Chain A
Amino acid sequence: MSDIIKQKIWEIIASNTSASEAGWLQQKRSSTPIELMTAFVAAPRFLPKKIIHTTDAEKAALNLEIPGFSVDGWSLVRLSRVWLLTQLDPSDKEGYTKNIETLFDTAEMNELVALYSALPLLSYPDQWLFRATDAVRSNMGFVFDAIALHNPYPEKYFSELAWNQLVLKTIFNDKPIHFIEGLENRSNEKLAVTLSDFAHERWAAGRSVPAQVWRLTGKYLNTALLADMQHLFDSEKEEDRQAAALACGEATLPAANYLLAKYTDLEKSVKSGALTWADLEH
């Protein structure tokens, strides 16, 4: 991990803390691993409850160092805990991983959130793969969010199977998939096909799926998915029809293009760029 990112994070902390709060953190920086770990746990006793709002410049600086990494909307405690983790000396791999494993094993909910948020910054990234997939299995919403949303770690390290599980569970939990980093980049045919099955189950139960999930299917439209597109074009909800038009617009399958052509207004909006997936993001 670069020293620049540590520095950038520190600058954000510094502009959100009093001199004594910053002093407490700085004093832990050069202490023993045990003291650092204790500080990680005890941080809420020394830092105020406060939400971090980053400037555009700060956002850009973080994104430049680690694409997709952002801290906007984090609590000060969460950010400080992540910073404390970056201060652990990684030179002894065994000791370093043991310390982080101990923090995971004994973590309460907010500590887990901080640990998963820190994954893109930790050394030996492969080492945390099991932990990361375990967070996707978590039923604690905040823990799940910490790995699934606004976190660049899964895009980079998850297998296709683990990735698809993450995306499906995000949809299943009714959370917005456009907050997943690398959604476009990691799209795949298996996911598109499974999504269709999932939608059918929901429809059978008289429920719906958010329109924007169909953005995962455009490139992979086949006959079965095309029937889903027809179902969406027939929907009473305007957003379903828009999603079908957008997905068909991205398809290479000629039948998808013919289908879209039947809905001239929608086709026009898609082709002109007046309608995009961003319109369905909520």
Chain B
Amino acid sequence: MCANHTEITPNPSHFEDSEEASQAPAHRDIAWNDYKDLIQGMRFFDPHIHMVSRTTDDYQAMNQAGIVALIEPAFWVGQPRTGLSTFKDYYSSLVGWERFRSSQFGIKHYCTMGLNSREANNEPLAEQVMEILPLYIYKEGVVGVGEIGFDDQTPAEEKYYRLQLELAKEAKLPVQIHTPHRDKKKGTERSMAIALEHGIDPSWVIVDHNNEETVKSVLDQGFWAAFTIYPFTKMGNERMVKVVEQYGPERIMINSAADWGISDPLAIPKTAALMKMRGISDETIRLVTYQNAIDAFGKSGQIDVTDFESGYAVDQTEKFHGNSILRGGQQPAPVKDFLVIN
């Protein structure tokens, strides 16, 4: 649940010409040919993206742009779920089909598991979901409990947020917190206070969807601050560059949270290119677009960088299953460049 298009801010979705702008742009879109050289050789890790809502074109473009691994948090898929089975199938798809699909495009797929805040308000169902969640959080490649936290900030949301914090503690997993769109500042403070109240080490908590108003307090209290480059409702990449200039790279990470809304699975490479254009150092770019996410979610013990650091070859996975000569279904092929389809 990342977009809320009822709340479109006046920020332009793209910026046409900076010289002619009367005020600083919040976000600009960049064409692949204009930035591919800037990010040449860079690797990216997107710690928040909802691939179930994305297409194969996105996977191919992400792979081409240097995204080698990603985390898919369990979220609200748009259509409210009416029964436990659809939750179960959704969770299974995050560790099953979607993980496989991603592997076919050379991208290592991790996920976080949780009951999202919006659906925590359906209490009879939420109760049942809490019973099956423990079956999923111990699974291979589950790097945290998430995305959890507040949406409307109701008592039910608080109840299931607290229960899931306990679950994360028990399973020794990081927590990925979704902060609300409305009343964000208070919601963020409240989320952090409750996590601390449950005795959770802030270095195990990633507070997501930050902006200029929330970041200082999040960092001051020792939490990780994640920023979602999502035009209209969250951060623009021009704004992001300024945040990195002001706060430096420590405990800051960037994600796309791309989902079923108007979002961009290439938000990270584009923001990296923009940072490069603005003269931010390669090391800082590496930290906020790759390494910090690995350090934070790696506390789960589930991230082995050798799986993807030198590019995540499809063959590698297959070797892991001992069938190195086999092909696992379709292969990624850059069909875009060909007129003729064989």
A residues sitting closer than 8 Å to B (CB atoms) are 38, 41-42, 44-45, 49, 51-52, 72-75, 78, 105-113, 139-142, 144-145, 149, 173-176, 205-207, 282
Contact = CB atoms under 8 A, between A and B. Distances in A.
Interface stretch (B67-75, B182-190, B247-255, B317-325): B317-325
Given A107-B96, A109-B96, A139-B329, 10 more contacts: A45-B138, A49-B320, A74-B321, A75-B321, A108-B99, A108-B140, A111-B140, A113-B321, A141-B104, A142-B317
Given A41-B138, A45-B138, A106 B319 contact: no
19 contacts: A45-B138, A45-B140, A45-B302, A51-B320, A52-B322, A74-B321, A105-B88, A108-B141, A109-B96, A111-B139, A139-B97, A139-B329, A140-B96, A140-B329, A142-B317, A142-B323, A142-B328, A145-B328, A173-B327
Contacts of B96: 107-109, 112, 140
Contacts of B136: 106
Contacts of B326: 141, 145, 149, 175-176
A140 B103 CA distance: 10
Interface in B138-171: 138-141
Nearest to A52: B322
Contacts of B141: 108
Contacts of B135: 41, 106
Nearest to B92: A106
Interface string B301-327: 110100000000000011111110111
For the complex of A and B, the 3 pairs showing the least CB-CB separation, nearest first, are A141-B328, A73-B322, A108-B95
A38 B104 CA distance: 29
Nearest to B321: A142
Interface extent on B, as a size class? Answer: 20 to 34
Interface residues of B: mostly helix, strand, loop or mixed? loop
A109 B322 contact: no
A207 B325 CA distance: 21
Nearest to B328: A141
A164 B198 CA distance: 57
Contacts of A107: 92, 96
Nearest to A113: B321
B92 A108 contact: yes
A248 B289 CA distance: 61
A262 to B, nearest CB: 33
A54 to B, nearest CB: 11
Given A41-B135, A44-B140, A75-B320, A176 B325 contact: yes
A90 to B, nearest CB: 22
A72 B88 CA distance: 33
Nearest to B331: A174
A45 B138 CA distance: 9
B342 interface: yes
B88 A106 contact: yes
B35 interface: no
Given A113-B321, A175-B326, A206-B342, A140 B301 contact: no
Contact of B100 (A42, A75, A142): A142
B132 interface: yes
B319 A51 contact: yes
A173 B320 contact: no
A176 B326 CA distance: 8
B100 A140 contact: yes
B138 A42 contact: yes
A257 B60 CA distance: 51
A49 B320 CA distance: 8
B147 to A, nearest CB: 19
A78 B91 CA distance: 21
A244 B24 CA distance: 72
Nearest to A106: B135
Contacts of A112: 96
A173 B329 contact: yes
B95 A145 contact: no
A108 B139 contact: yes
A75 B92 contact: no
Contacts of A45: 138, 140, 301-302
Given A41-B139, A49-B304, A141 B322 contact: no
B55 to A, nearest CB: 16
Contact of A109 (B95, B301, B319, B342): B95
Contact of A110 (B97, B140, B325): B140
B97 to A, nearest CB: 7
Contacts of B304: 49
B100 A141 contact: yes
Contacts of A73: 321-323
Nearest to B304: A49
A52 B321 CA distance: 10
B245 to A, nearest CB: 40
Contacts of B104: 141
Contacts of B132: 106
B310 to A, nearest CB: 16
A106 B304 CA distance: 24
A108 B138 CA distance: 11
A145 B321 CA distance: 10
Contacts of A113: 321
B327 A174 contact: yes
A139 B320 CA distance: 18
Given A41-B139, A106-B135, A206-B342, A145 B323 contact: yes
B225 to A, nearest CB: 28
